[in-house]
C-alpha cells in the first residue's frame, strides 16, 4: 500500500486545516506567515485516509490528532507558520530532541518558531511523509520521514556547510503529549546519522579511536 505524502494528507484533513489567511510564494518559503486558522474537527472520511493504527478514536483523541496535524502543517515549506506552531503549545510546553553533536536541545516559546524558520531556510521545500500514526488518549505517536532539498546553509561546530541541492529524506519518530488541547511535550527523535550522511558529513572514526 502506497504511503500518502504529507501534501495528500493535508488535503484529506481539510476539515482540520483551513486555508491560510496569507500564503507564501515558494521564493519566500523561509518567511513565517500569520497564524493558521484551523478547525478542531476531523471527519470519518478524513480519518479513513490517514495511516492510523487504530481508527476507533474518542472525540478527545480526534481533537488531539487534529492539533498534531496542524503542527505539521505549520512546518510545511509552503506554509512556515511560526506563530501558529507556537500557539499550539501550552504556556510551559517544550520540544525535546532537536540537537546535533552537542546533544539534545530543548526549545520553548519563541525558540519553537525559530526552529520552523531555520528548517525553512535549510530545506525550503520541507515536508513530512507520515507513515504510521498511533493515538492513545493524550499521546500521539508518529513514524515519519522529513524530506526536502538542501538549498540553505547548515551550521555545524566546525563551520557552515554550503547547500549542495541534495535530496534529503531521513526517518523520524515523534511523540506528542497533550494537555487540555495543547502540546505539553513534543519529543522528536531524528536519525541524525542518516541526515548527516545525506549532507555529506561523514563520521571521523580515526579521531574517535585516537581519543
pTM of the predicted model, to two decimals? 0.79
Q: Which of 25, 140, 169 is nearest to 72 (CA)?
A: 140
Distance CA 90, CA 109 (A): 9
State residue 206's pLDDT score: 78
Dmax over CA atoms of the chain, in Å, equals 58
98-129, pLDDT tens digit by residue?
654 445 579 999 999 999 999 999 999 999 99
Pairing of strands 182-190, 89-96: parallel
Instruction: Tell me the sheet residues that pair with 143.
Output: 132, 173
46-100, pLDDT tens digit by residue?
898 899 999 999 999 999 999 999 999 999 999 999 999 999 999 999 999 865 4
State residue 101's pLDDT score: 46
Q: Which of 209, 24, 19, 15 is nearest to 121 (CA)?
A: 24
3-class DSSP state of 25: coil
Instruction: Tell me the sheet residues that pair with 121.
Output: none
Which are the contacts of 61, defined by CB distance < 8 A and separation ≥ 6? 135, 136, 137
Q: Put the strands of the sheet holding 182-190 in their side by side order.
A: 106-107, 89-96, 182-190, 167-179, 139-149, 127-136
Amino acid at each position: 500500500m502506497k504511503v500518502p505524502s504529507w501534501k495528500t494528507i493535508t488535503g484529506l484533513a481539510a476539515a482540520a486545516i483551513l486555508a491560510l489567511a496569507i500564503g507564501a510564494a515558494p521564493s519566500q518559503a523561509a518567511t513565517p506567515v500569520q497564524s493558521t486558522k484551523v478547525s478542531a474537527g476531523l471527519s470519518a472520511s478524513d480519518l479513513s485516509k490517514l495511516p492510523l493504527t487504530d481508527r476507533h478514536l474518542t472525540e478527545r483523541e480526534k481533537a488531539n490528532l487534529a492539533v498534531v496535524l496542524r503542527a505539521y502543517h505549520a512546518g510545511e515549506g509552503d506554509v512556515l507558520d511560526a506563530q501558529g506552531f507556537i500557539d499550539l503549545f501550552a504556556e510551559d510546553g517544550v520540544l525535546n530532541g532537536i540537537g546535533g553533536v552537542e546533544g539534545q536541545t530543548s526549545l520553548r516559546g519563541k525558540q519553537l518558531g525559530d526552529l520552523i524558520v531555520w528548517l525553512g531556510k535549510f530545506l525550503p521545500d520541507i515536508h513530512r511523509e507520515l507513515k504510521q500514526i498511533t493515538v492513545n488518549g493524550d499521546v500521539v505517536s508518529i513514524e515519519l520521514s522529513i524530506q526536502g532539498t538542501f538549498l540553505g546553509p547548515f551550521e555545524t561546530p566546525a563551520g557552515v556547510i554550503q547547500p549542495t541541492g541534495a535530496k534529503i529524506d531521513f526517518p523520524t519518530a515523534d511523540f506528542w503529549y497533550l494537555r487540555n488541547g495543547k502540546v505539553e511535550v513534543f519529543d522528536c527523535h531524528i536519525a541524525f546519522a542518516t541526515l548527516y550522511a545525506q549532507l555529506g558529513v561523514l563520521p571521523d572514526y580515526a579521531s574517535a579511536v585516537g581519543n
